[in-house]
Amino acid sequence: MKAAVLHTLGQPPRCEEFPEPVAGGGEVVVQVHAAALKPVDKQLASGTHYASSQSLPRICGIDGVGHLDDGQRIYFGGPRPPYGAMAERAVARKAFTFPLPENLSDETAAAIMNPGVSAWLTLASRAKLAAGDNVLILGATGVTGQLAIRIAKLLGAGRVVAAGRNPEILGRLHELGADAVIQLDVPADQLSEAFAREAGASGFQVVIDYVWGKPAEAFFAAITRKEFAAIESETRYVQAGEGAAPTVALSAAVLRSTRVTIMGTAGMPPREMLLDAMQKVMTHAASGELKIETERVPLSDIEAAWKREQRGGRFVIIP
């Protein structure tokens, strides 16, 4: 079969022949229709992701859309290595396959499920967003950040402030529900002032951070108190990505002068929580309340697509 095969960490995969997958106990072979090319796929292939495997060769792609032998159309995740989703066929645990609604296209399902479910779980389960909470999204011009804006509104956020680096996309975020936007590519002192201004007296109850690095440091500087004072509400800060840098300098004064809880996304959630988030994302995507831009790319063009920059959407690999 044809597949996007990775031979060297840090290099693009190549479309070439690879042995057919054979299902083991509790597994199914999926006839793949579509698989989105995501930043995490590139991170895993570069060897920089914490879950990167050194075992090569292998097929790229952590999830996709296809059908089973009985004809059922499904979304699947976690294909068994060395198999991946960017191939004509993949093998995955039956428990990691999920039926799709008829009115959700292959391309949209392949592109939106990973970032949509990630954003939903981050906001609803980790940050525990409550109706009326003020939300700040760092990295809002990325695909997941854009979905997070809309999802925050669906979950009842009172006010959503979107901060990002792409000025063209930043200018369109009001259409998704952003109440205010902040340009991240400014000097640190100006960025801290912008965070403080948009936080206002009530502050941010939820911060979702897809960038880390200097923007996070500027936010922490903005919330650090210079005097003893009563603090009305807590900020639940979820670290979800490292688009700007993998580390930050964090002063002890940030944690001692404010009510801020810093947490990560915490890996794979319990299955029932995951299923609930998937169902909600599928429902809102099928109704058009959640949208994502896609571009179809033939599997034969995977090497060229891998090298192209994606802005605001997803390449969807079609076997």
**Does some domain include residue 50?**
yes
Q: Are residues 86 and 148 in the same domain?
A: no
pLDDT band of residue 14 (cuts 50, 70, 90) is very high
**Does some domain include residue 110?**
no
**Does some domain include residue 222?**
yes
- Average pLDDT value for residue range 49-59: 84
Q: Are residues 157 and 219 in the same domain?
A: yes
Q: Are residues 184 and 69 in the same domain?
A: no
**Does some domain include residue 280?**
no
**Does some domain include residue 51?**
yes
Q: Are residues 131 and 236 in the same domain?
A: yes
Q: Are residues 184 and 52 in the same domain?
A: no
pLDDT digits (tens, 9 = 90+) for 24-49: 999 999 999 999 999 889 988 888 77
**Does some domain include residue 279?**
no
- C-alpha of 100 from chain center: 20
**Does some domain include residue 275?**
no
Q: Are residues 132 and 62 in the same domain?
A: no
Listed range (79-83, 87-91, 125-129, 231-235) with the worst mean pLDDT: 231-235
pLDDT digits (tens, 9 = 90+) for 74-83: 999 999 999 9
Q: What b/e sequence results for 116-146 when a residue is b if at least 16 CB atoms lie within 10 Å of its CB, and e otherwise? A: bbbbbbbbbbbbebeeebbbbbbbbbbbbbb
Look up the pTM and report it: 0.90
Q: What is the pLDDT of residue 225?
A: 84
Residue 298 CA to residue 280 CA, distance in Å, equals 29
pLDDT digits (tens, 9 = 90+) for 140-167: 999 999 999 999 999 999 999 999 999 9
Q: Are residues 170 and 219 in the same domain?
A: yes
pLDDT band of residue 54 (cuts 50, 70, 90) is confident
Residue 37 CA to residue 86 CA, distance in Å, equals 9
pLDDT band of residue 109 (cuts 50, 70, 90) is very high
Q: What is the pLDDT of residue 231?
A: 56
**Does some domain include residue 274?**
no
Question: What is the residue range of 39's domain?
Answer: 2-100+291-318
> For residue 266, is pLDDT > 90?
no
- Average pLDDT value for residue range 174-181: 96
Q: Are residues 257 and 120 in the same domain?
A: yes
Which residue's structure tokens are 């688009």? 243
- Average pLDDT value for residue range 87-100: 95
Q: CATH number of the domain that 62 lies in?
A: 3.90.180.10
- Average pLDDT value for residue range 160-175: 95
Residues 6+ apart with CB under 8 A from 156: 129, 130, 131, 132, 133
Q: Are residues 130 and 240 in the same domain?
A: yes
Q: What is the pLDDT of residue 46?
A: 87
Q: Are residues 36 and 173 in the same domain?
A: no
Q: Are residues 259 and 304 in the same domain?
A: no
Residue 207 CA to residue 238 CA, distance in Å, equals 6
The number of domains in the chain is 2
pLDDT band of residue 268 (cuts 50, 70, 90) is confident
Q: What is the pLDDT of residue 230?
A: 47
Q: Are residues 122 and 226 in the same domain?
A: yes
- Per DSSP, the chain holds a count of helices (H) and strands (E) of 9, 16
Looking at 249, 264, 279, the residue that finishes a domain is: 264
> For residue 262, is pLDDT > 70?
yes
- How many Cα atoms occupy the beta-carbon half-sphere of 279 within 13 Å? 6
Looking at 218, 249, 264, the residue that finishes a domain is: 264
Mean pLDDT of all residues in the chain?
A: 93
